């Protein structure tokens, strides 16, 4: 089965390589804007789903894996970590 990592993150690519998986990397194009009133967990889940869907719709027979990482302080989403 084809495995696709829907991420441009070098760290995620490194982790997948450590696992010895044969995978391809594709960078999804999604709108990562925070919606008004969206909680951090909801936001992170929605973005991860959107990333997987953006690739998975074209690769229906593949296992598409996506994730998102955000920084949250006192319930406020600050964005993605720099490193």
Q: Which residues are marked as active site? A: 68
Rounded to a whole number, what is the largest CA-CA distance in the chain? Answer: 41
DSSP strand pairing (71-73 vs 63-65): unpaired
Q: Distance between CA 79 and CA 81 in Å, rounded?
A: 7
Tokens standing for 71? Answer: 């920084």
Instruction: Match 């319930």 to its residue by tokens.
Output: 75
């Amino acid at each position: 089965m084809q495995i696709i990592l829907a991420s441009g993150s070098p760290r995620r690519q490194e982790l997948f390589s450590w696992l010895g998986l044969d995978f391809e990397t594709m960078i999804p194009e999604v709108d990562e804007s925070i919606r008004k009133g969206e909680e951090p967990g909801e936001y992170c889940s929605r973005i991860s789903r959107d990333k997987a869907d953006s690739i998975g719709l074209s690769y229906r027979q593949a296992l598409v894996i996506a994730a998102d990482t955000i920084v949250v302080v006192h319930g406020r989403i600050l964005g993605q970590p720099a490193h």
